[in-house]
């Protein structure tokens, strides 16, 4: 040991070892541990919260664990009666191991977090991992790590057929280990939102009552196809001025958003591609919109798509994520091809090249045609949009989706006991 390292060790702050008391657990319940990277704010964390709350409490004892920050959603989970544990920064694995020895979970579920994988193997705990997206944004190193971690995973739950295909083709996952379960929508939340009086008006945003408005509800992440919308709107505006795109979301990387806004300004599209930022109540947006537009390069299963279906909006979507699973023969919208071909051909370099700088896209003419078709046949497409709402109730009720999660859990636990 060098003198410097010895000094560091002698004068390092002493941390008290973390100890966990064995919780009072009903022996008749399945003990389920859910791991995620942090539990503060964000779409993924909200999905974890919602599913954990919806699990059958008479059958499952749920513990949520993170090595990251426990914040707002963690507090909400605790208020809902869930056990939430934040692991310490120091001696994280030792603390995690002690926790597992106290909880003795029957099964672990992980959401884009891998801290406990070696411990799950050591303790003989079965592990279900969620595939939340087409992971084409992975770097080569991330892809290798995902493939290497496959040995710790007993079953995957993937949100869409495209996400499943990508994991099998590009990430070394055996297709037989994957069960595809779509994302659902908490219908009661949106039924309550729908009943509230609206406060947002078209006039607040400079939109005329005669305009045809496409809502683009997505983070200001350029992987969502914002420059495709710019290219399409330039062509539309050369012919007509009654079509608007309302982009509502929060910024992901400020320089990208600023560059996008500058391009919109240079092209004279400020009155036709509107970017007011984040709107908390999505119902407000859909009240003033005629249709939903999401020309993404990459998706897993878009919750925003589910929301648009609930509010009865016809949709124009690129063929990524689950769009081809919900739009069938133009029944509730128009599906246009993506820019790169088959989903399995996409990689992080191609994704960023397509998304981060303006260009003339090969799919733009198809996008323009689809947008004008909806605008020119408003009543017909309004009626088609209502079919999307029916699909939400029949196929994508979140409570039904959670019951499917429970079935997978039960199956994996039974396999362990054989």
The token duo for 79 is 């208020």
Question: CA-to-CA distance for 239 and 181, rounded, in angstroms?
Answer: 42
Architecture of domain 187-396: 3-Layer(aba) Sandwich (3.40)
CA 266 to chain CA mean position, Å: 32
Q: For 32-87, how does the pLDDT look when each residue is reduced to its tens digit (9 = 90+)?
A: 999 999 999 888 899 999 999 999 999 999 999 999 999 999 999 999 999 999 99
Q: Which of 294, 300, 298 is nearest to 137 (CA)?
A: 298
Q: For 38-51, how does the pLDDT look when each residue is reduced to its tens digit (9 = 90+)?
A: 999 888 899 999 99
Distances (CA, A) of 384 to 272, 369, 394: 25, 18, 16
So what's the pLDDT on residue 173?
95
**What's the pTM?**
0.91
The token duo for 120 is 């799950």
Beta bridge partners of 130: 111, 157
DSSP states along 113-167: --TTHHHHHHHT-EEEEEE-S-GGG--HHHHHHHHHHGGG-SEEEESSHHHHHHH
Beta bridge partners of 158: 131, 180
Q: 351-359: long-range contacts at Cβ-Cβ below 8 A with a sequence spacing of 24 or more?
A: 351/136, 351/137, 351/223, 351/297, 351/298, 354/297, 355/222, 355/223, 355/225, 355/227, 355/297, 356/222, 356/256, 357/227, 358/227, 358/230, 358/231, 358/263, 359/227, 359/231
Q: Which of 380, 373, 392, 378 is nearest to 322 (CA)?
A: 392
Q: Are 333 and 305 in contact (CB under 8 A)?
A: no
Q: Are 68 and 92 in contact (CB under 8 A)?
A: no
What region, left, alpha or beta, does residue 53 occupy, with left being phi > 0 and alpha being psi -120 to 50 degrees?
Answer: alpha
Does the domain spanning 12-184+399-417 belong to CATH 3.40.50.2000?
Answer: yes
Q: CATH 3.40.50.2000 in the chain, residues?
A: 12-184+399-417, 187-396
Per-residue pLDDT for the chain (418 aa), expressed as one digit of tens each? 443 443 344 344 444 556 666 777 888 999 999 999 999 988 889 999 999 999 999 999 999 999 999 999 999 999 999 999 999 999 999 999 999 999 999 999 999 999 999 999 999 999 999 999 999 999 999 999 999 999 999 999 999 999 999 999 999 999 999 999 999 999 999 999 999 998 999 999 999 999 999 999 999 999 999 999 999 999 999 999 999 999 999 999 999 999 999 999 999 999 999 999 999 899 999 999 999 999 999 999 999 999 999 999 999 999 999 999 999 999 999 999 999 999 999 999 999 999 999 999 999 999 999 999 999 999 999 999 999 999 999 999 999 999 999 999 999 999 876 6
So what's the pLDDT on residue 16?
52
């Amino acid at each position: 040991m060098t003198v410097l390292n010895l000094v560091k060790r002698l004068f390092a702050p002493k941390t008290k070892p973390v100890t966990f008391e064995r919780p009072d657990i009903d022996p008749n319940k399945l003990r389920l541990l859910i791991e995620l990277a942090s539990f503060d704010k964000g779409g993924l964390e909200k999905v974890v919260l919602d599913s954990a709350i919806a699990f059958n409490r008479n059958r499952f004892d749920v513990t949520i664990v993170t090595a990251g920050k426990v914040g707002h959603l963690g507090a909400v989970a605790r208020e809902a009666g869930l056990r939430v544990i934040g692991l310490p920064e120091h001696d994280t694995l030792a603390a995690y191991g002690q926790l597992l020895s106290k909880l003795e979970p029957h099964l672990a579920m992980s959401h884009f977090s891998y801290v406990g994988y070696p411990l799950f193997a050591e303790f003989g705990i079965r592990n279900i991992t969620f595939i939340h997206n087409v992971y084409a944004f992975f770097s080569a190193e991330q892809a290798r790590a995902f493939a290497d971690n496959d040995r710790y995973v007993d079953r995957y739950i993937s949100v869409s057929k495209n996400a499943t295909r990508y994991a099998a083709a590009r990430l070394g996952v055996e297709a037989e280990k994957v069960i595809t379960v779509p994302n659902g929508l908490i219908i009661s939340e949106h039924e309550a939102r729908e009943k509230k009086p609206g406060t947002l008006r078209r006039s607040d945003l400079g939109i005329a009552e005669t305009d045809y408005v496409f809502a683009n509800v997505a983070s200001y992440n350029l992987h969502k196809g914002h420059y495709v919308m710019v290219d399409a709107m330039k062509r539309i505006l050369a012919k007509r001025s009654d079509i608007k795109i309302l982009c509502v979301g929060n910024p992901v990387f400020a320089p990208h958003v600023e560059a996008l806004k500058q391009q919109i300004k240079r092209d004279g599209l400020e009155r036709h591609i509107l970017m007011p930022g984040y709107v908390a109540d999505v119902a407000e947006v859909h009240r003033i919109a005629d249709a939903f537009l999401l020309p993404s390069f990459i998706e897993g299963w878009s919750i925003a798509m589910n929301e648009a279906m609930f509010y009865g909006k016809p949709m124009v979507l690129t063929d990524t994520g689950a769009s081809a699973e919900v739009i069938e023969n133009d029944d509730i919208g128009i599906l246009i091809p993506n820019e790169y071909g088959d989903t399995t051909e996409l990689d992080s370099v191609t994704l960023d090249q397509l998304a981060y700088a303006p260009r003339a896209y090969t799919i733009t003419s198809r996008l323009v045609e689809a947008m004008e078709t909806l605008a020119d046949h408003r009543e017909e497409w309004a009626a088609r949009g209502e079919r999307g709402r029916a699909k939400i109730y029949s196929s994508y009720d979140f409570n039904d989706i959670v019951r499917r999660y429970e079935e997978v859990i039960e199956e994996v636990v039974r396999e362990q006991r054989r």
